[in-house]
Structure 1
Amino acid sequence: MPGPYAGLFVLDAAQGIAGPLCGMLLAQGGARVVKLEPPKGDWSRGLTAREGTHSVMHTAFNRGKDSVVLDLGTPEGQAQAARLAARADVLLEAFRPGVAARIGLGPEAAKADAVCVSVSGFGQAGPLRERPCTDGVAQAFAGIAACNLGADGIPHRLPTLPVDIFTGMSAFAACQSALAEQARDRREGAPPRRRHLDVSLIAGAAQLLAVPLAESGLLGRLPGELNVPAGTYQGSCGGWFMLALVREEEWQAFCRAVGRPGWLEDPRFARFADRAAHKPALMAELRPHLASRPAAEWVALLQGARLLADRVNTPLDFLAEPQVEATGIAPRMRQPGLGELPVPAMPGLGAWTAPAPALGEHTAGVMAEFALAEGRPGGA
């Protein structure tokens, strides 16, 4: 069924994850999205399980697009790209700041009322604007890794690319807002206005750290741990489970549920702040106690007390959960070149199982279409 963006033409000149995810969500909303790639393809085609020009990573963030290959290192390739950019309602790019303008894909190359989205590591301004960035670097720079100390005391990055994915979703949200504003201008007869959105990985990382950043800035120091003893614990079976506490009453219910009501009388453990201050002493008692029974028993007991707890799943465990099947969170799709694989449904938007394109699959057709539309000979 056509979505709210049916009729929009999006030129997606981004690679990797954040920019392409924004483009894919526009495609899910009905837009026609042309993915512009270099002759070697988006670098995500070379990562994760792959076959030919397809990979799992590329499929995850480029479903439902057309793929056009142009060599932007040549004048001919730049001219062809500029021809596409001039027709785009949304122009999406993820080059280092300044590069897009030099090769004809900057905001000035777009229509007078286009929405232009620039995704970069550090933003379009500032002393670090040209520095390269990845999800892991953004986690380190913004403080996510420092907030994720392992039991070994070492800062760890989260391996699931949260900054890239959240930044892509943020780019989509900003683009939606700009498109709505554009539609309002048209209704009111306002003159066309081009919108340029600056979306960076470090801004996305900052949003993921909203609470610790705000509290650190308020206090002028790093805040204590939020809700000790929330965290992961290992049972006697070797399996792990997660405990979460958000209210003081839950600590009281936890102590009674695990058979340690005496902890409620210990002033060191009276409140969240006290437990954070005396965490080593608490862990010295808590971990051995929780290691005395299998993880499944603790989870059943804690859930029976209406506490927030569950086993630590692997992705395979998660896919096998009846709740996942019942709610359609990870529908399976058939991707040419790879086979059948599960892909997550976008919350609130649902499943999107259109396949991702092969490298350059639509080059000749798209370039002929847009060349003919301008009265020029067809062909790429």
Structure 2
Amino acid sequence: MPETNHPAAGAGKRPLEGVTVIETSSFLTGPFASMMLSDLGADVIKVEPPGGDGFRKFGHNRDGFGASWTNANRGKRSVVIDLKTEAGVARLKALIEHADVLVENWRPRVAVSLGLGQDVLAALNPRLVRLSINGFGDTGALANAPAFDSLIQGRTGIVAAEGRNGKPSVTPFNMVDKITGTFGAQAILAALYEREKTGKGTHVKLPMLDVMGYFNFPDMYQHRTFEGDTSAWKPPASQVLETSDGHVVISPANGAQMSKTLNAIDRPEWKADFKQMTDPVAMAEEFFRRVGEVVKLRDTAYWLERFESLDVPAAPVFSLDDYLNDAQVNHNRVFEFVPSPVGPIRTARYPATFDERRLPARFGPPSIGEHDAEIRGA
């Protein structure tokens, strides 16, 4: 049986202590899901090919550790297994046989070609929860098509909806990948709970295309919610307002807050105009247009103080570094540094607390094959 205990797991109980996860995935979807499981206490064993995960050096990096890879693979142990060989597949099976979860994001045909189809895995370990992340599902015309974050954005309406002035725009920062990974972790937790009742594992299939339909539908598809509705899609009014020296964000979510906003900008007489408008979308556009014309006359500090004093939901437009240094962020202890092979790295803790227990990163990212010797059977 492979050794799964790890002394660097950190003190304090975590909800998934005792759960073993084998991860064979690359890029961001699968690794992000299993990183979340690690933060929750699972022992995640990352299986890498000879030479390491091809995503390791991607983008901004230090000494071969890409920052994005590092941020999605901290808290894991690494073993090197060549799945192109029979011996390598046998070694992976030895790990899977005693694991609780397998996370992979191969294209649908890859697992079968490796001799790791679902029938094989279920027979090898009937209690295994298997998460398969892919782009479009395992059947249909796109089953084996390449799937990347921006491509899914293009197919799910995000690129069109994010555009302004007739120019489509991709939402940056791999939104689709991270959302898919989050749903992957959620689905694994549900499958583990089901296993407690049935004693059997299950195969969880998670297409990125389906994830974004579920995630985007509540608000982005309002105009297609009611049967027969053929309304044109309209982009929401911008809540970012220009000031004389920068920008602020306001978010009045109901009539009372909109009234307070008009009081804050000394235009209470406009309330009667807005009450007469029957189209809520047109009313919101006109509201932000008018408020924006007034807000641009004074500086950011004035408006933040003014809005706060009258209980108007408002916020500054922070840079990335502003956020890292924000007093509330520091109070919440969102970030901390942990050791890594390339020196201390900043990490974000798991955002939920459990009876006031915070779950910071357990340890940094592994070097290639760092844990081969300590994981028996690897």
Structure 2-normalised TM-score? 0.85
Partner of 1:359: 368
Q: Percent identity at matched positions?
A: 26
Cα offset, 1:36, TM superposition: 0.9
From 274, 277, 282, give the equivalent of 1:276: 282
Asked whether the 8 Å contact 1:81–1:104 carries over to 2, the reply is no
From 111, 119, 124, give the equivalent of 2:138: 124
SS in 1 for 2:21: strand
Deviation track 1:175-232 (CA, whole Å, cap 9, x = no partner) reads 111111111224xxxxxx330001122222223313233541425335655864x511
From 283, 286, 303, give the equivalent of 1:298: 303
Asked whether the 8 Å contact 2:191–2:201 carries over to 1, the reply is no
From 221, 224, 236, give the equivalent of 1:216: 224
Partner of 2:260: 253
AA aligned to 1:354 is: F
Partner of 2:175: 162
Cα offset, 1:2, TM superposition: 4.3
Give the distance between the partners of 1:274 and 1:172, measured in 2 at CA.
37
Give the distance between the partners of 1:146 and 1:13, measured in 2 at CA.
33
Give the distance between the partners of 1:308 and 1:43, measured in 2 at CA.
44
Cα offset, 1:275, TM superposition: 5.1
**1:262–1:96: structure 2 CA closer, same or farther, 3 Å change rule?**
same
Range moving further from structure 2, 50-59 or 177-186: 50-59
Deviation track 1:272-325 (CA, whole Å, cap 9, x = no partner) reads 83552783x666644332211112221221222211110111121001111000
Structure 1-normalised TM-score? 0.85
From 45, 57, 62, give the equivalent of 1:34: 45
AA aligned to 1:233 is: L
Asked whether the 8 Å contact 1:114–1:195 carries over to 2, the reply is yes
Partner of 1:72: 83
Cα offset, 1:93, TM superposition: 0.6
Matches within 5 A, 1:191-202: 193-202=200-209
**1:51–1:106: structure 2 CA closer, same or farther, 3 Å change rule?**
farther
**1:70–1:169: structure 2 CA closer, same or farther, 3 Å change rule?**
same
Unaligned runs of 5+ in 1: 187-192, 371-379
**1:278–1:363: structure 2 CA closer, same or farther, 3 Å change rule?**
closer
**1:8–1:266: structure 2 CA closer, same or farther, 3 Å change rule?**
closer
AA aligned to 2:168 is: P
Range moving further from structure 2, 248-257 or 215-224: 215-224
SS in 2 for 1:264: helix
Partner of 2:331: 326
1:17 aligns with 2:23: no
Asked whether the 8 Å contact 1:39–1:70 carries over to 2, the reply is yes
**1:153–1:302: structure 2 CA closer, same or farther, 3 Å change rule?**
farther
SS in 2 for 1:332: strand
1:182 aligns with 2:188: no
From 101, 104, 115, give the equivalent of 1:104: 115
Give the distance between the partners of 2:28 and 2:352, measured in 1 at CA.
18
From 326, 332, 341, give the equivalent of 1:336: 341
Unaligned runs of 5+ in 2: 1-11
Cα offset, 1:78, TM superposition: 2.7
Partner of 2:8: none
SS in 2 for 1:292: coil
Give the distance between the partners of 2:113 and 2:61, measured in 1 at CA.
33
AA aligned to 2:138 is: Q
Count of residue pairs the alignment pairs up:
358
AA aligned to 2:350 is: A
Cα offset, 1:165, TM superposition: 1.4
AA aligned to 1:313 is: F
Give the distance between the partners of 2:242 and 2:337, measured in 1 at CA.
32
Q: Which has the higher contact order (CA 8 A, sep 6+)?
A: 2
Give the distance between the partners of 2:233 and 2:302, measured in 1 at CA.
31
Partner of 1:373: none
Asked whether the 8 Å contact 1:89–1:115 carries over to 2, the reply is yes
Cα offset, 1:102, TM superposition: 1.5
